[in-house]
Amino acid sequence: MMSYPPQQETFSGPEASSERMPPGSFITGGREQFRTAAWLAAAYNEPGLWLTGGALVVAMGMIILLLGYIAWEGLAAFWPRNVVQIQLFDGTIVCGEVVRVERYVPQPSLLETLPDEIRQKAQRLLGDHGSIRRRLVRIGNYELTGEHFRWVSDFEIASDGESYPASITVFERRAWGRFFGFLQDFVTAEQVVASGSERVWEELTRVHPQALALWKKLRKLEWRDMGRINHRMEKARLQLRKVELDYGEESPEAARGRAEWEKLQAALESEAAELRQQIELVRNRLTQWALRVSTADGRETTLLLGDIVRAYQPNRLFWWQKLAIYRARVWEFLTDEPREANSEGGVFPAIFGTVLMTLLMSIGVVPFGVVAALYLREYAKSGWAVSAVRIAVNNLAGVPSIVFGVFGLGFFCYTVGATIDQLFFSARLPAPTYGSGGILWASLTLALLTLPVVIVATEEALAAVPNSMREGSYACGATKWQTIRRVVLPRAMPGVLTGMILAMARGAGEVAPLMLVGVVKLAPELPIDDQFPFFHPERSFMHLGFHIYDLGFQSQNAEAARPMVFATALLLVLIIFTLNLAAIFIRARLRRRFLGARF
């Protein structure tokens, strides 16, 4: 048994006890001894304190470490790095951005293959430091080199082989990844209009905005306008199909429909042909501009200006100029669509999908959860049945999320969705409309997954409403429903919101079930757009959590996608954090309103 007041007073902790001793009143040894004894006694007397405190420190430390790592890597992902040019001992020239540095001990068999001089250098380095530094260089120029990255060990570098050429230019392209090279000529309509690094750079900075604008226009024509024509054609075809299904293929209605359809098709065709012509025009204008560039190892190639997203010369930029590029890249990341198999560009569709799905899920889960909890707490007579339901609800929270995914696929997509398709979208069959994964089914699946969270939180909130309030309401002659609606629910609202926050945090971060019910790695269209009926709950969507998984583990070029993985993870954490913060803010306001500030 612990001995209480006196010891607690003296041995409340190592800091406390050493503080109380006047400085210099003990010789050092005695003081040390006393301190150790006090510390041990404190640890002995309060094992709970040390155990719990220690556990907390470990947990917090791990969380901070994780978040800090994600934040650091995620924020560093967009920084334009300098481009290094390295000449190796065998004459190879490696040029690109250093993305990672590490130390390693090379295999002896590798060293054997090296020329004597280099091997001696390697062994010397190994002798001095015990390991050798190597750097991962993003070399780009994939169409020429066939690889994106290359490791360079220190001993491979020829003497004085490392430099940072000022005029090297980095191109971010729409395809083939980055390009590192030197500017040679600027070509407009097959005519060289500028030569030499400086002049070409000037011309490039002048023309590039025009090229970007044209590209945007081209994309709009190809995607939106062409898409609209296709959409109308599809709609007309579906109408015809419906008529055929309703009246039979041989009926006069169907024949009339077919005639109409042919007329419309002809009209749309000519419209499309016109549009194609326009597109061709714009494309020709865009492709007139080209750059002749040479790589560090002397190979020459031509880049179309229309393919270039951004060009900069990092080695001559000051940090504030780099900051401008950084800002532009972050903005692109947040607002643009992905390109290059998601490893470049933005994640806007994924942000949109995540937020929309989380909101839909909340709309789905909160009313259901609250009503269920109201029944359990306010209406049901307590007994074994209610206890059984409660246990079942709690167990639901422990079911692996993938099981919910399977259920969602089987129930929502294949049963409910297929029925909806049979009833309302029969013309489009066998292509599914609601019969396959979509944002609605994904939201409902997650709503089911987070239902226990909301029910449990609401039940707790309802249980915390003092009975005296209910009695006060009944005494005024209120019915049960009036009491619940006017007194109990408002008072329980902050607790309900807590449940919603927990559900949202859980739902926004969930990936596994979504993979079955509607998340895709690249969705061509957002679930909300300018085409009637504007909200398309049947469409599949992109999601940040799945994006992380896809980039990090499914990508062809995992190393290039690495920065995006961190940036996306950081963004997901921030979004969940913001959603939570918003809900916490609302809850705090409600609390002030409903629970009162003083007594």
Partner 1 sequence: MSSVHNHTINKVENPPANNSQSWEQLQLDLFEEDLKQAPVVHPGLAKEPAIIELDHFGLWYGKKKVLHDISMAIPRGKITAIIGPSGCGKSSLIRSINRMNDLLDGVRYEGDIRVHGESIFSASHDVIELRKRMGMVFQKPNPFPMSVFENVVYPLRIDGIRNRTILEQACERALRAAALWEEVKDRLHTSALELSGGQQQRLCIARAIAGDPEVLLLDEPCSALDPVATAKIEDLFDSLAGQYTLVIVTHNMQQASRVSDFTALLYLGRLLEFGPTVELFSRPKLRTTEAYITGRFG
Q: Residue 153 or 473: which CB sits closer to partner 1? A: 473
Asked whether position 329 contacts partner 1 by CB under 8 A, the answer is no
In 3D space, the residue among 451, 466, 441, 439 whose CA is nearest the CA of residue 357 turns out to be 439
Question: Minimal distance in Å, beta carbon 31 to partner 1?
Answer: 54
Asked whether position 93 contacts partner 1 by CB under 8 A, the answer is no
Give the integer Cα–Cα distance in Å for 188 and 199. Answer: 14
Q: Residue 274 or 471: which CB sits closer to partner 1? A: 471
Backbone angles phi, psi at 344, to 5 degrees: -135, 175
Asked whether position 490 contacts partner 1 by CB under 8 A, the answer is yes
Asked whether position 598 contacts partner 1 by CB under 8 A, the answer is yes
Asked whether position 424 contacts partner 1 by CB under 8 A, the answer is no
Strands 157-163 and 83-88, how do they pair? antiparallel
Reduced to 3 states (helix: H, G, I; strand: E, B; else coil), residue 474 is helix
Give the integer Cα–Cα distance in Å for 119 and 113. Answer: 8
Reduced to 3 states (helix: H, G, I; strand: E, B; else coil), residue 110 is helix
The CA angle 557-560-565, to the nearest 5 degrees, is 100
The CA angle 368-371-376, to the nearest 5 degrees, is 120
**β-bridge mates for residue 97, sequence order:** 83, 138
Q: Residue 491 or 543: which CB sits closer to partner 1? A: 491
Backbone angles phi, psi at 520, to 5 degrees: -130, 160
* Segment contacting partner 1 by CB under 8 A, of 252-260, 268-276, 302-310, 461-469: 461-469
The per-residue DSSP string of 366-396 comes to HHHHHHHHHIIIIISPPSHHHHHHHHHHHHH
Type of residue numbered 289: W
Q: Binding residue for partner 1 (CB under 8 A) from 486, 531, 577, 585?
A: 486
Asked whether position 476 contacts partner 1 by CB under 8 A, the answer is yes
* Segment contacting partner 1 by CB under 8 A, of 202-210, 298-306, 483-491, 566-574: 483-491
Asked whether position 594 contacts partner 1 by CB under 8 A, the answer is yes
Q: Binding residue for partner 1 (CB under 8 A) from 34, 142, 474, 535?
A: 474
Asked whether position 466 contacts partner 1 by CB under 8 A, the answer is yes
Q: How crowded is residue 577: how many other Cβ atoms within 10 Å of its Cβ?
A: 12
In 3D space, the residue among 516, 514, 513, 538 whose CA is nearest the CA of residue 526 turns out to be 538
Question: Minimal distance in Å, beta carbon 477 to partner 1?
Answer: 3
* Segment contacting partner 1 by CB under 8 A, of 347-355, 411-419, 516-524, 588-596: 588-596
- Cα dihedral 54→58→59→65 (10° resolution): 150
Question: Minimal distance in Å, beta carbon 389 to partner 1?
Answer: 19
Asked whether position 586 contacts partner 1 by CB under 8 A, the answer is no
Count of residues touching partner 1 (by CB under 8 A): 27
Which helix (H) or strand (E) segment is 258 a member of?
helix 252-287
Asked whether position 478 contacts partner 1 by CB under 8 A, the answer is yes
Asked whether position 384 contacts partner 1 by CB under 8 A, the answer is no
Structure tokens at 93: 């020239």
Q: Binding residue for partner 1 (CB under 8 A) from 430, 475, 532, 534?
A: 475
Q: Residue 266 or 464: which CB sits closer to partner 1? A: 464
Question: Minimal distance in Å, beta carbon 390 to partner 1?
Answer: 19
Question: Minimal distance in Å, beta carbon 502 to partner 1?
Answer: 22
Q: Binding residue for partner 1 (CB under 8 A) from 141, 362, 473, 540?
A: 473
Asked whether position 589 contacts partner 1 by CB under 8 A, the answer is no
Give the integer Cα–Cα distance in Å for 419 and 416. Answer: 5
273-292 burial, b at 16+ Cβ within 10 Å, e below that, comes to: eebeeebeebbebbebbbbb
Contact 538, 440 (CB under 8 A): yes
Asked whether position 377 contacts partner 1 by CB under 8 A, the answer is no
Question: Minimal distance in Å, beta carbon 470 to partner 1?
Answer: 8
Q: Binding residue for partner 1 (CB under 8 A) from 28, 107, 113, 468?
A: 468
Asked whether position 472 contacts partner 1 by CB under 8 A, the answer is yes
Dihedral (CA of 302, 305, 308, 312) sign: positive
* Segment contacting partner 1 by CB under 8 A, of 221-229, 261-269, 466-474, 545-553: 466-474
Give the integer Cα–Cα distance in Å for 87 and 165. Answer: 13
Q: Binding residue for partner 1 (CB under 8 A) from 91, 477, 532, 534?
A: 477
* Segment contacting partner 1 by CB under 8 A, of 39-47, 467-475, 538-546, 581-589: 467-475
> How far apart, in Å, are the Cα atoms of 151 and each of 343, 404, 599?
20, 44, 69
Rg (the chain; Cα; Å): 33
Asked whether position 464 contacts partner 1 by CB under 8 A, the answer is no
Asked whether position 491 contacts partner 1 by CB under 8 A, the answer is yes
Asked whether position 487 contacts partner 1 by CB under 8 A, the answer is yes
How would you classify residue 146: left for phi > 0, otherwise alpha for psi between -120 and 50, otherwise beta? left
Would you tell me which residues interact with partner 1 (CB under 8 A)? 381, 466, 468-479, 482, 486-487, 490-491, 592-599
